[in-house]
Amino acid sequence: MGKVINIHTGRERTIQTFDCSICDSKFSENETGLQRGIIGSTIVSLCPICLSGIFNLTDYLKQHMSIEE
Ligand SMILES: [Zn+2]
């Protein structure tokens, strides 16, 4: 967790951080990652880069996998 101090009021505010389930980097609640999601029965957090990578992967797979019925 990180702390932000308002220099005008002196008030402290704690910024919650999350550990990415793929690359283990920390990201804050202010970033666009997935903070607490569920894949199957596993709780995951994804940093902005890994979340973007998941979207790219699914886009690629949608385009390149043929659906046979
Ligand atoms: Zn990551």
For the stretch 8-41, pLDDT in tens is: 898 888 888 999 999 999 999 889 999 999 989 9
6: CA distance to ligand 1 center in Å? 29
Q: Residue 68: is its pLDDT beyond 80?
A: no
* Mean of pLDDT over the chain: 89
Q: Would you state the pLDDT for residue 45?
A: 96
8: CA distance to ligand 1 center in Å? 35
Q: Would you state the pLDDT for residue 13?
A: 82
Q: Would you state the pLDDT for residue 69?
A: 57
15: CA distance to ligand 1 center in Å? 18
What are the Cα distances from residue 68, in Å, to 20, 30, 34, 65? 35, 42, 32, 9
9: CA distance to ligand 1 center in Å? 35
Q: Would you state the pLDDT for residue 30?
A: 86
